[in-house]
A and B are shown apart, each in its own frame.
Chain A
Amino acid sequence: QVRLQESGPGLVKPSGTLSLTCVVSGGSISTSDWWTWVRQPPGKGLEWIGEISHSGSTDYTPSLQSRVTISVDNSKNQFSLNVFSVTAADTAIYFCARRSTKTCYGCFDFWGQGALVTVSS
């Protein structure tokens, strides 16, 4: 059973950088799957942020592409998210998830529990 766990600061100052890491256990990150970040502002819906393959290929949602980077560390079986120049609008619960290419045609079959990040001075 694959498990994902997010970690990182829960409070970030405006104009600062939001950094989160997702540790994958119970399976290798070096597979054909895609490793994804999704966020959910308080009381709102899910927003797909971006994803990375084990080889480092990335895709980002157009609205955030200029402020986001996702990286992978195969040796530590983890991947990370950086969101730059944050504002209060970036306050959200951030989930990491696996987008499977084997279990299904691109569904998110495993999710982390989520990490609340608040942007405030």
Chain B
Amino acid sequence: QSVLTQPPSVSAAPGQKVTIACSGSTSNIGNNYVSWYQQLPGTAPKLLIYDNNKRPSGIPDRFSGSKSGTSATLAITGLQTGDEADYYCGTWDTALSAGVFGGGTKLTVL
């Protein structure tokens, strides 16, 4: 049971837009910055979005993040087959004094 809640899976056609929600509480998302990670099959997670909505160098602007209250959202536009991966949200939980992740969302590009 993950502290942060994500849908297990989402899907959309190539070229379309998809959003992945991440729900938490005031002790984590509500008072801390959120980051998002992309994990391609058989590889380590890769930082996709940090500080709620910033992109590291090399991440296309098709990927964007936002946060409102105790929820965060990752949006991916212009879907490509290469975007098929597992996506995780993560943040710090002040009450637990621990890092926390969502359970992960598997993106399928139909």
Number of A-B contacts (CB under 8 A): 74
B24 on the interface (CB 8 Å rule)?
no
Number of interface residues of A (CB under 8 A): 26
**Cα distance A62–B46 in the bound complex, in angstroms:** 25
Q: Which of A76-121 contact B (CB under 8 A)?
A: 95, 97, 99, 103-109, 111-114
Is A36 a contact of B50 with CB atoms below 8 Å?
Answer: no
For B54, the chain A residues whose CB sits under 8 A away are 104
For A38, the chain B residues whose CB sits under 8 A away are 45, 99, 101
Q: Which of B73-110 contact A (CB under 8 A)?
A: 86, 88, 90-92, 96-104
Q: A62's contact among B45, B88, B90, B98, by CB below 8 Å, is which?
A: B98
For B98, the chain A residues whose CB sits under 8 A away are 48, 50, 59-62
- Given A45-B103, A59-B98, residue A111 in contact with residue B44 (CB < 8 A): yes
**Cα distance A114–B37 in the bound complex, in angstroms:** 15
Query: A82: shortest Cβ distance to chain B, in Å?
Result: 18
**Cα distance A46–B56 in the bound complex, in angstroms:** 21
* CB-CB nearest in chain B for A108: B47
Query: A25: shortest Cβ distance to chain B, in Å?
Result: 16
B35 on the interface (CB 8 Å rule)?
yes
Is B104 a contact of A105 with CB atoms below 8 Å?
Answer: no
Q: Mark contacts of B40-80 with chain A using CB atoms, 8 A cut-off: 1 yes-contact digit, 0 otherwise.
A: 00011111001100101000000000000000000000000
* CB-CB nearest in chain A for B47: A109
Query: A104: shortest Cβ distance to chain B, in Å?
Result: 4
Residues of A within 8 A of B (CB): 36, 38, 45-48, 50-51, 59-62, 95, 97, 99, 103-109, 111-114
